[in-house]
Amino acid sequence: MSTDNSQKTGGYTLDRMIRIALDLSSENDFDKLMRKILLEAMDICHCDAGTVYVLEDDHLYFHTVFTKSLGTGIEEQNLNHNLPPVPLGRKNVCACSALDKKKINIEDVYTSEEYDFSGAQKYDSITHYRTQSMLVIPMDDEKDEIIGVLQLINCLDENGRTIPFDRSYEDIISALASLAAVSLNNHQLAREVYDMLHSFVEVMVDAIDARSSYNANHTRSMVRYADRFLSWLEETGIELKLNDDSKDAFLMSIWLHDIGKLIVPLEVLDKPDRLGNLRAGIKSRIEIACLMEKVTSYEKPDMSGECAEKISMLKKAWNAIDEANSAGFLPDEKIEELKDYSKLSCRTADDEEIALLDDRELEAITIRKGTLTEGERRQVQSHVVYTSRMLEKMVFKGIYKDVPFWAGSHHEFLNGNGYPNHLTASELPFQSRMLTIIDVYDALTAEDRPYKPPMSPEKAFGILKNMRDDGQIDGRILELFIASNAWKKEN
């Protein structure tokens, strides 16, 4: 007996079966994989129609459906089919095949007495089709667990007449179903890992949201900008476009880029003004000092004028401090005025004399622009380091292997003046460059920041163009981002 690849088994060459196996194992698109399996099975058996069912939660779901006689392609038929799932009961032959783990070969489902085909007749009424001969093969994995069913309908002779399925087809289709089961199982496992990873991201973003609502809005806005921008690149055919897998990995890096802010103290992260939680202490100190001066004026009437002058000076100091606390920018003269006020003495309830402001308070209130001291700014900037450390402790492989790097480099600049690693243009790919641009844009235009009003898009792009001119960001990507209108708000 010959054993070479020209040998026939059930009328089908072994070398073609090997090719099918290799073809299926290399297909990453699950929908295409299921279509290939069904079309190969239909071609082997010369039949008119077929269905691949996937078992989920005690129901068989129609995944891939095709009928040659309808005259439309398999993609179009699957795009339009909306059939209800089949429950695992005795009224449908596909369900019986799954329940009994049995190959079923029927000459005519309308005359068969072995099975209840009322279910098949019901689906015929829905699809306006006449099911006659049928071959149903359960798809079981390496653990002998049923994960789906391959169902073939109406075997045809050379003249196009419906005939029974030849018994010799059963083993071949079973082998094909086994290949399908392995591929389906691998896909489901990959999907579970994918879902777990995305669930982790959702939990992390929710955790950030629970601490700081504006930062979660920031992340979601960035993802929206990036998603629109990448779609625009795809539509326009510009060379920077990413495939679906690369796009998902890039969006993943955006979702995770601020995860390190979970470690930054909230009073720094959400600091709305220069003093933050120091303001209440200064106000209380001045109020007590004023009360002590009033007490002195009652006890020593001859000092009432001096006490009144001291109270007036303390109130002026408070007004200056309170005004500076929320000012957008402090000029030199205002900073010097605040330094002078800081030296005023205040009497405590224990009748001790202390300076109006201590060193920490003076540093905070004399911040020229913004709300953070240098120490606090370093704390916020450290979130990038924490982001990298946290993500590097996870295992990102395949298409996601660069997620930690992209997420951890969104504050790097092309000229090396970014942080934390002072990377340069040759070390920063498209994803890092794009992430930096949309991060800066949203930070400038966000409407929910507690420490500043939002900028207009025009002004924000003006700042980004200055950054481009300084060699900090990628001018080509900025130009495309502006042209894409991906930054526009939804109506």
pLDDT at 178: 81
Most confident residue range from 235-249, 420-434, 436-450? 420-434
Asked if the model's pLDDT at residue 241 lies above 70, the reply is no
CA–CA separation, 485 and 462 (whole Å): 16
Instruction: Output the average pLDDT for the chain.
Output: 87
Q: How confident is the model at residue 431 (pLDDT cuts 50, 70, 90)?
A: very high
Return the amino acid letter for 384.
V
Q: What is the pLDDT of residue 57?
A: 86
pLDDT of residue 11: 46
Domains and CATH numbers, the chain: 8-190 (3.30.450.40), 212-264+384-491 (1.10.3210.10), 276-365 (no CATH)
Residue 327 is predicted with a pLDDT of 92
Average pLDDT over every residue of 422-448 = 94
When pLDDT is cut at 50, 70 and 90, the band that residue 14 belongs to is: low
pLDDT of residue 9 exceeding 50, the answer is: no
Q: Residue 12 above 60 pLDDT?
A: no
pLDDT at 105 over 50: yes
**Dihedral in degrees, nearest 10, Cα atoms 258, 473, 223, 446:** 80
Residue 215's φ and ψ, nearest 5 degrees, are -70, -35
Q: What pLDDT, on a 0 to 100 scale, did the predictor assign at position 245?
A: 75
Residue 271: how many other CB atoms lie within 10 Å: 21
Q: 201-215, 292-306, 324-338: which has the minimum mean pLDDT? A: 201-215
What average pLDDT does range 226-238 have in this prediction?
Answer: 91
pLDDT-derived band at 2 (thresholds 50, 70, 90) equals very low
Does position 182 have pLDDT exceeding 80, yes or no? no
pTM: 0.65
Predicted pLDDT of residue 473: 97
**Span of 20-29, 36-45, 210-219, 282-291 with lowest mean pLDDT:** 20-29
- Whether residue 5 is predicted with pLDDT greater than 70 in this model: the reply is no
Residues whose CB falls within 8 Å of the CB of residue 34, separated by 6 or more in sequence, listed in order:
52, 63, 64, 180, 184
308 or 34: whose pLDDT is higher? 308
What are 338-381's pLDDT values in tens digits? 999 999 999 999 989 999 999 999 999 999 998 999 999 999 99
Token match 């689906």: residue?
Answer: 123
pLDDT in tens, 451-489: 678 899 999 999 999 999 999 999 999 999 999 999 998
pLDDT of residue 223: 92
Averaged pLDDT, 420-436: 96
3-state secondary structure the chain: CCCCCCCEECCEEHHHHHHHHHHHHHCCCHHHHHHHHHHHHHHHHCEEEEEEEEEECCEEEEEEEEEHHHCCCHHHHHHHCCCCCEECCCCCHHHHHHHHCCCEEECCCCCCCCCCCHHHHHHHHHHCCCCCCEEEEEEECCCCCEEEEEEEEEEECCCCCEECCCCHHHHHHHHHHHHHHHHHHHHHHHHHHHHHHHHHHHHHHHHHHHHCHHHHHHHHHHHHHHHHHHHHHHHHCCCCCCCHHHHHHHHHHHHHCCHHHHCCCHHHHCCCCCCHHHHHHHHHHHHHHHHHHHHHHHHCHHHHHHHHHHHHHHHHHHHHHHHHHCCCECCHHHHHHHHHHHCCEEECCCCCEEECCCHHHHHHHCCCECCCCHHHHHHHHHHHHHHHHHHHCCCCCHHHCCHHHHHHCCCCCCECCCCCCCCEHHHCCHHHHHHHHHHHHHHHHCCCCCCCCCCCHHHHHHHHHHHHHCCCCCHHHHHHHHHHCCCCCCC
Burial class (CB in 10 A: 0-12, 13-18, 19+), 358: middle
Supply the pLDDT for residue 451: 67
User: Rounded CA gap, 441 and 212, in Å?
Assistant: 19
**Between 17 and 385, whose confidence is greater?**
385
Across 151-157, average pLDDT? 94
Tell me which amino acid residue 28 is: N
Percentage of the chain exceeding pLDDT 90: 55
Q: Residue 3: is its pLDDT beyond 50? A: no
Residue 80's pLDDT band (boundaries 50, 70, 90)? low
> What is d(CA 347, CA 355) in angstroms, rounded to the nearest whole number?
9
